[in-house]
Each structure stands twice: as C-alpha cells, then as structure tokens.
Structure 1
Amino acid sequence: MPTLALLLSAVAVAGPPQRLESYDGPWQHMRVIRPQQYVAYSTSEPVVIDGRGDDAAWQSAEWTAPFVDIEGDRKPRPQFLTRAKMTWDDDYFYVFARLDEPHVWATLTEKNSVMFQDNDFEVFIDPDGDNHDYYEFEMNALNTIWELSLGRPYMDGGPLRNPHNIDGVRTAVHIDGTLNDAGDEDSGWSVEIAFPWEGLARHRGAAHTPPRDGDQWRVGFSRVEWMVNIVDGKYVKVPRSERPEDNWVWSPQGLINMHRPERWGFVQFSTAAPGTAEFVDDPTLPARDWLMGIYHRQRAYREQFGHYADSLDLLGMNAEDRPEIVTDATIEMTEASADTPADETNGKDADKAVQRGYLVTVQLQFPDGTTRPLRLQHDSRLW
C-alpha cells in the first residue's frame, strides 16, 4: 500500500510546471549597461614598447572614456583617473594605459603571481565574443605579469588555465615619480603592452587574426586599487577585511565580477585614417542581451527548482518581451557536455545525476531582409 509521502510525491511530480514569478538577480543591474565602444586604428609607425606612449603611433590614437567603478553608476566615480589607448599592425595588438596615482608601489616580482594582490592593470580579450575561451592578462608597476585563460567564466565552471603564457608578449612600465618610496608623492604610472596576433589566435574561435577592417572584438580593462597606509616610512596595504580593494574599469559590469564577458567593451578594428571611421553598432546586441536575460533567469530557476525551465513562460518571459529582430525562439533541453561541472547537474552526485542543459535558438531578421540564427547554451556560450 503506498504511503502518504509517496502519494504526495506523485502529486507533486504530476502537478503543473513551476513558474519563476519574479527575478531580482545580477542581470537587473547588468542589462541597463551599454558596453563601451572604441575604434582601434591600424598604424604603419613603429611602436617602441617603453611604457611612455609617446611614439607617433600613439599620437593619433584616442583615449578611451575614463574608467568608472565596476558596478557602474551605483557607485561614486573613481578617485584617480585611468584611461587607455589601442592601436594595431600586422603583428601586434597594442594597449597603452595611464593610471594617475599619488603612491606608486608594487611587491610581486615572480611571473604569474596572483597580480591583483598588488595594484594592477588588467586586460581581458574575447576575440569572437562568445563568452568562452578568453585570455586574461595582468601586470603591476614592477612590470611583473600574469597570463591566464578561461574556457568558460568562473560562474560556468571554468576551467581556469593558469598559467597560460602567450609567446612574444612585450610589456613595459613607466613611472612618473618613484616606486615604493613613501617619502614623496607621485603622479602615476603607465603601461604599454604588445599582444602578438599569433598568440591570440589560440583564442580567436570564429574571429580572424589579425582582424579584418571592421571586425569587432570584446575587450575589458580593469584597474585594481588598494588603499595603503604609510607606517615607518613604508607603504602598508590595508587588508581586504578592513577595506576591500576598488575595481575601476573601462566598461562597467554592473557587479563586482570582471568574468562576465557579455559586458566587456566593443573594439572595432579599422584600417581607415585615424578619426575617420564610424563605430558600427552590433545589430545583434539587443538579441544577445535578451538571450543573456534568459541565461540569468535560467540560473535563478535552477537554483529555486533544481532544474532548468523548458519554456520562456516558466521563466516569466513571453514573446512580447523579445526584440523586434527576433522572429522565433525555441528552448531545447540537452545533455550537458562531459566536462560540465558538478553544480550543473540535477543532483549533488555528479556521477549518478543526469546532466541536463539547454540550448536556446533564435532566428534574427534584420531590416535589410537578411536572416541568421543566434544560439545560447546553458554555460553562457553565445554564438
């Protein structure tokens, strides 16, 4: 004879599908942010990597917008100015950044140390903009560097490849003042980096290296800034437990997490004369943002109900919410890939649980009549 518990369980299984009635997750803050845009012009001038950025190639390159807090307008503007420039040639993607700073200090000297324990400058590059297989680079005022990459963002299980060195990266630092001297006040420091296309090709996916005229990559810049005290004539970093570090970025994320590539800036590569090319808005961006809204709601749905939703209605979304260019949208439940991390399963035991994922496919139709599909996977891959 069946027990009451079994009967209640059967009723629950046979009951109507559960619906996500509300959503108050990170996408609420992320979705209102428009990624920054920049046109990087090619150069035929030689670029001397000395950290100064005073070559002819840099004179015609425009500054990015000043960096802001990583959370965006919800937080005050940074205390110190940070800006960057970009240019490129047949061999390298060049980045120059200037960081205003009254107290320039650094401690880490071993390559591939955890660089954000010092004040640092960071670069994130996702050539094909699919949120996966991206390159991360960090450096401090001692010109010590850290190279790593991620197959997927940390939220989606990585994996982290650390270290992940690209042959031929060239770097330099220039200090406008003194280093590790608490007895004076500095003006700041600047960094200059040459990323070889040959090395970045490992992460290009569907992109081209070198890029073609008009190609767009997703790029993020971040500056980590720690507060210091001066004790006995030396800099002493204030620990995170007393005051967390500041994160100042070119394109805000909406939350304290640089590993959300969907909010990195757009860099458009151009072979035109500097200052003459118009940035072309990505026509798929409204659809991409709509799909990332599905992704974030799916995460909330799984956290609440233990599995992903198989319809937009269960996520609290409907056809009226979608952008005009999206003509059709389907959710297909799938088996997750073999390397899906344990938290992507429907149970705590990854060996026994049935790994389930999803694939959202939308059809896009542009004003000129052309069409193309766009796909989102449960691990945030978007292509």
Structure 2
Amino acid sequence: MFRIACAAFLAMMCAFAGNVQAQGINEYVVKKAVSPITIDGRLSEPEWEEAALTERFVYYVNGSATVLSTQGKMLWDDQYLYVAFICEDPDVWATLKNHDDHLWNEEVAEMFIDPDGDGLNYLELQVNPLGTLMDLLMSKAYSDGGKSDFDWNLNGFTAGIFVDGTLNDINDNDIKWVCEVRLPFENMAFSAPAMDFPPKDGDSWRLNLYRYDYGGDDRKDTELSAWNRTDSRGFHAPDKFGRIIFSQEPVISPTKVNDAETVPAGFGISGNYPNPFNPSTRIDFHLPADGSVNLDIYNVLGQHIRSLIDGNCKAGNNSIVWDGRDTSGNSVNSGIYFSNLKVNSQVSSHRMLLMK
C-alpha cells in the first residue's frame, strides 16, 4: 500500500511536467534470434546488435521526457522471450540481495506481462543492478481490487547485469547499467491458456517495461519511467501496456554480412587501418559502380554513433577517416564499434576496436 500511495503522489507531481506525450499504445516487433543468447548483460551477440531499440522511456503518468535515457530491446526463440534494458545512470546502486525483496524501493528494471491482454493473472517481474530477482502474480490491477501473490515463482526466470561504471560508489560518475533477461515460454503459458506458447508468427502480447531510478546526493530523487505511459493508476494499468508482436523473421537479415569474404564481388568494406586504433582510423571500401552510399558507425548496443557518408561515391576504391567522435563532436569511449556500409540493398559491416 505504501508503494501505491507513493506512486499516486508522484503521478500528481508529474501531471504538471511539460512536453506531455499524446496517449497511445507503443508497439514493438520482436524478431527471432538465430543463435544462442548468453545472459550476461553485455548484449554482445549479433542478434542484440541488430535488434531495434524501443522508444525512449517517458514519465509513466503523462508521457513527458525523463532526465535519464532508458530504452529496451527484445528477441525470442522457440523457448524464451529475451528482454534487455539499457539504463543511463550516473550513480548505479542497489543493496537488496534476497529473492522477492521489495526491489522497487531501490533502483530496478520491471516487466509487466499480460499475454492475452485480459488484465487477469498478469506477471510482474523485477531485477535490480545486483541481479536480484522479484516475481509475483497479479490477479488483476489494484484499482480493480486485485491482489498480489508473492508465493508464485516464474521458474527459469534468469537475468544478467552489466554495469558501465562502479556499483555502489556514490563518489564517481557511472555511465549506465544493462539488464538482460530470459523468460521461459512454457512457464508463462498458464496465464493465457487459450494462446500458443511459444507464440506463432504474428501473435501479440500486452507488455510494459518500467524503471525506478533513485538519484541525487541522498539517492531520494525518484524518476519513474515507462516504455508506454500509463495514467494515475500507476504501473498497474494493463489496458495501457505496450504491445509486442512476434515475428518469425530472423533479426539478422540474410543480406546482412559480417566479413569481406561474404559480400557480393566488388562490393564491401575491405577493412580499417589502424585497427585497433586511437585516436582515428581510415575505413576503406570498394564500389563496383557509382552509387548513393550510407556509411554509419554503431556501437555494440546498436545505437547510432555517427554518419560518415550520406551521398554519392565513385566506383572503385574509396576511404574515409573516422576521428572517434560522435555526431555531437564528443570523443567516444573505448570499445568495439561497427562501420556499416549500405548501397541500395547491399550491406557490409566491419568490426573495429577503439583503445584509449
């Protein structure tokens, strides 16, 4: 009840914020993974690199912009639904270590899942930056007289965490934390007995993603965000959950290539020099004919870093230098980056390593 009261108070406060988003239902097409996914929070598999990002999370009650960026990604295979949260955070912290602790009292990523969208027997799942799990079953929304069942467990619920920074050190500046989750279809099937588990191509579920962040010098500045905004009822508003649509389409397109040997003859990125590099590198590529070219840089999370070429290039050997800066002119962090060359329907990618 304390949590509900806090959420209601925050809802009233957020109602006065600007940049209010029009109410609607966000949709996300979940594509299939084609190889095993390791649950470690690093999102290093090619499938995660290719999976689309959700819309940036907003204040849950009215859709206004948040201070911190939070976005999600999703994948599936015949056994599991995979969910990832990418949470910007200058101070990543958590202390709760026991299963089913009240994780919402600290920083946490949350999933509310209602496969058949009837508002009954929906799942609430939480993970904090320590990797502690909380799972409960809601009979229906609190506003409709619903009750929570903490004795219920989602067997096979697994999470991995990666912290870009230092966990539980308020004196330094962190970058983000990433939460990667694996949810077994067979253990969620009871909640929607008329539906298929695993889903069929085109099946849709209702699902929402949320985040609690506690910041400031005393860690009491609370930011509650959601993928799809709800309303004054708080997080428990099943009719306001987002919608995910399952697709049999592999997340890695058949036209997507990863090395020069597999690209069409006469086309592709031939490499970059030096590699590893610091502070800059030359990217070399070859075109069999004149054409319109897009050459972009992405990080391992699939986030666009910079556009290097957006225009026409001549046939033959071409090159361009990337100075290790993003679109805003800021120097990027050390790590793996990808140059992505696109000409018409042909795509070539190349992995690069920036070391500082």
TM-score (norm 1): 0.59
Counterparts of 1:274 and 1:188, CA distance in 2: 25
Counterparts of 2:252 and 2:195, CA distance in 1: 24
Does residue 43 of structure 1 match 2:20? no
Maintained 8 Å contact 2:94/2:106: yes
Does residue 237 of structure 1 match 2:225? no
State which of 178, 195, 218 in structure 1 corresponds to 2:166: 178
Maintained 8 Å contact 2:58/2:226: yes
Q: Deviations over 1:273-298 (max 9, x none)?
A: 4388xxxxxxxxxxxxxxxxxxxxxx
Can you give the 5+ residue segments of structure 2 that lack an aligned partner in the other structure? 1-11, 254-356
Q: Which residue in 1 is equivalent to 2:9?
A: none
Counterparts of 2:40 and 2:250, CA distance in 1: 25
Q: Which residue in 2 is equivalent to 1:155?
A: 143
Cα offset for 1:159? 2.3
Q: Which residue in 1 is equivalent to 2:228?
A: 251
Maintained 8 Å contact 2:143/2:233: no
Does residue 262 of structure 1 match 2:244? no
Counterparts of 1:137 and 1:216, CA distance in 2: 19
Q: Which residue in 1 is equivalent to 2:71?
A: 83
Aligned-partner residue type, residue 250 of structure 1: W
Maintained 8 Å contact 2:32/2:247: yes
Aligned-partner residue type, residue 263 of structure 1: K
Q: Deviations over 1:3-62 (max 9, x none)?
A: xxxxxxxxxxxxxxxxxxxxxxx9xx9996111000001112110000011112212210
Cα offset for 1:190? 0.3
Maintained 8 Å contact 1:127/1:205: no
Maintained 8 Å contact 1:167/1:199: yes
Q: Which residue in 1 is equivalent to 2:119?
A: 131
Match of 1:272, SS? strand
Maintained 8 Å contact 1:97/1:191: yes
Counterparts of 2:233 and 2:219, CA distance in 1: 20
Q: Deviations over 1:135-157 (max 9, x none)?
A: 01011101011100111111112
Match of 2:163, SS? strand
Match of 1:35, SS? coil
Cα offset for 1:218? 0.3
Q: How many residues align?
A: 236
Kindly tell me: are residues 227 and 254 of structure 1, through their superposed partners in 2, closer, same or farther at Cα, counting changes over 3 Å? same
Does residue 205 of structure 1 match 2:187? no
Larger Rg: 1
Kindly tell me: are residues 185 and 206 of structure 1, through their superposed partners in 2, closer, same or farther at Cα, counting changes over 3 Å? same
Maintained 8 Å contact 1:33/1:254: no
Match of 1:54, SS? coil
Greater fraction helix: 1
Maintained 8 Å contact 1:137/1:146: yes
Counterparts of 2:170 and 2:134, CA distance in 1: 26
Does residue 102 of structure 1 match 2:93? no
Q: Which residue in 2 is equivalent to 1:227?
A: 215
Match of 2:83, SS? strand
Does residue 55 of structure 1 match 2:55? no
Does residue 274 of structure 1 match 2:251? yes
Counterparts of 1:31 and 1:64, CA distance in 2: 15
Cα offset for 1:132? 0.9
Counterparts of 1:67 and 1:172, CA distance in 2: 21
Counterparts of 1:63 and 1:115, CA distance in 2: 25
Aligned-partner residue type, residue 80 of structure 2: Y
Maintained 8 Å contact 2:117/2:205: yes
Counterparts of 1:163 and 1:225, CA distance in 2: 26
Maintained 8 Å contact 2:31/2:75: yes
Does residue 117 of structure 1 match 2:105? yes
Kindly tell me: are residues 152 and 44 of structure 1, through their superposed partners in 2, closer, same or farther at Cα, counting changes over 3 Å? same
Match of 2:104, SS? helix
Maintained 8 Å contact 1:42/1:89: yes
Cα offset for 1:72? 2.5
Cα offset for 1:69? 0.7
Maintained 8 Å contact 1:128/1:204: yes
Counterparts of 2:39 and 2:21, CA distance in 1: 37
Q: Which residue in 1 is equivalent to 2:344?
A: none
Match of 1:59, SS? helix
Counterparts of 1:102 and 1:33, CA distance in 2: 30
What percentage of residue pairs aligned between the two structures are identical? 32
Maintained 8 Å contact 2:47/2:251: no
